[in-house]
Amino acid sequence: MNEELPTLRICHLYARLLNIYGDRGNIIALKQRAAWRGMAVEIKTPALDETIDPDWADIYFIGGGQDKQQIAIAADLQKHAGALRHATESGAVILAVCGGYQLLGHYYKPHQGPELKGISLIDAYTVAGNRRMIGNVTVALPDGSTLVGFENHSGKTFLGEALAPLGKVVRGNGNNGDDRLEGAQDKNIYGTYLHGSLLPKNPHFADQLISQALARRNGQIKLNPLNDNIELIAHKRALSLKA
Residues 21 and 195: beta-carbon distance below 8 Å: yes
Q: How many CA atoms lie within 13 A of 236 on its CB side?
A: 6
Per-residue confidence (pLDDT) for residue 94, from 0 to 100? 98
Nearest residue to 152 (alpha-carbon basis) of 138, 169, 168, 135: 135
Residues 10 and 141: beta-carbon distance below 8 Å: no
pLDDT in tens, the chain (243 residues): 346 889 999 999 999 888 888 899 999 999 999 999 999 999 999 988 899 999 999 999 999 888 788 888 999 999 999 999 999 999 999 999 999 999 999 999 988 888 999 999 999 999 999 999 999 999 999 999 999 999 999 999 999 999 999 999 999 999 999 999 999 999 999 999 999 789 999 999 999 999 999 999 999 989 999 999 999 999 999 999 887
Single out the catalytic residue among 106, 153, 195, 235: 195
| pTM of the complete model | 0.95
Nearest residue to 124 (alpha-carbon basis) of 184, 213, 56: 184
Per the DSSP assignment, residues forming a β-bridge with 94 are 60, 189
Per-residue confidence (pLDDT) for residue 72, from 0 to 100? 86
Per-residue confidence (pLDDT) for residue 3, from 0 to 100? 64
Nearest residue to 191 (alpha-carbon basis) of 10, 61, 35: 61
Q: Does domain 7-240 have CATH number 3.40.50.880?
A: yes
Sequence letter at residue 37 = R
Per-residue confidence (pLDDT) for residue 173, from 0 to 100? 97
Task: Write down the domain spans for the chain.
Answer: 7-240
Q: Please indicate whether residue 86 is annotated as part of the active site.
A: no
Quote the CA–CA distance of 82 and 77 in Å, as a whole number. 10
Nearest residue to 32 (alpha-carbon basis) of 228, 217, 192, 193: 228
Q: How many CA atoms lie within 13 A of 28 on its CB side?
A: 10
Q: Please indicate whether residue 106 is annotated as part of the active site.
A: no
Per-residue confidence (pLDDT) for residue 1, from 0 to 100? 34
Single out the catalytic residue among 80, 98, 153, 235: 98
Cis check: omega of the bond before 211, within 30 degrees of 0: no
